[in-house]
């Protein structure tokens, strides 16, 4: 049933690109810390190489993944087939948050369609690539992408987004450092 892959080959890359959403999980080192699991939308995941992926990290109410990556780097991306044959793919690895102002941000963000509200790009060096049956995943149909985040970003404007991120995204729920305040202020 389950299979490990040495790398993302052409067939696996095609399957990954066809999925409409994925999930990202991370955790702090402290046993008392909050484990984080976040859904991510379409066109936010890019395959950078056979053992490297990245995704757009959009402005949100918290910055747990960024904080966990700064602390320990551990992250997993999970994709599920909600249409077609059942399948789950997990991409385990070590990630880094690349923020605007970082030397590699501009080149890295070009791997994606232009989007407002990008607070970082999460780059992941893959250590384990595997799939499993996905028999328990329901069949669902994609109706539409939600427009609320884009509308919220537009209403906030650049200054409003910076203020929001300074208030909500510079540390995790557990007090770990997340977005760098000095980057937001520049």
Q: Please tell me the distance from the alpha carbon of residue 35 to that of residue 168, in angstroms, as a whole number.
A: 18
Among 60, 59, 61, 71, smallest CA distance to 33 is for 71
Q: What is the pLDDT of residues 1-52, one digit of tens each?
A: 689 999 999 999 999 999 999 999 999 999 999 999 999 987 899 999 999 9
pLDDT of residue 1: 62
Q: What is the pLDDT of residues 58-104, one digit of tens each?
A: 999 999 999 999 999 999 999 999 999 999 999 999 999 999 999 99
pLDDT of residue 178: 96
Domain 3-180: top CATH class: mainly beta
> Would you say residue 106 has pLDDT above 80?
yes
Average pLDDT, rounded, for the chain: 95
* Burial grade of 132 (CB within 10 A; 0-12, 13-18, 19 or more): middle
């Amino acid at each position: 049933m389950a299979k490990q892959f040495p790398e993302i080959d052409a067939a696996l890359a095609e399957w990954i690109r066809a999925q409409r959403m994925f999930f990202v999980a991370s955790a702090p080192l402290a046993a008392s810390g909050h484990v984080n699991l976040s859904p991510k939308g379409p066109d936010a995941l890019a395959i950078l190489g056979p053992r490297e992926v990245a995704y757009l990290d959009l402005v949100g109410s918290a910055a747990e993944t960024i904080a966990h990556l700064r602390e320990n780097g551990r992250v997993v991306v999970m994709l599920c087939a909600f249409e077609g044959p059942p399948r789950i793919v997990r991409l385990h690895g070590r990630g880094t948050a690349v923020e605007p102002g970082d030397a590699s941000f501009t080149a890295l963000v070009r791997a994606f369609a232009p989007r407002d509200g990008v607070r970082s790009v999460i780059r992941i060096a893959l250590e384990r690539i595997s799939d499993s049956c996905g028999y328990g995943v329901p069949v669902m149909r994609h109706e539409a992408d939600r427009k609320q985040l884009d509308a919220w970003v537009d209403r906030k404007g650049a200054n409003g987004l910076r203020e929001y991120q300074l208030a909500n995204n510079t540390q995790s729920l557990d007090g770990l450092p997340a977005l760098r305040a000095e980057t937001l202020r520049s």
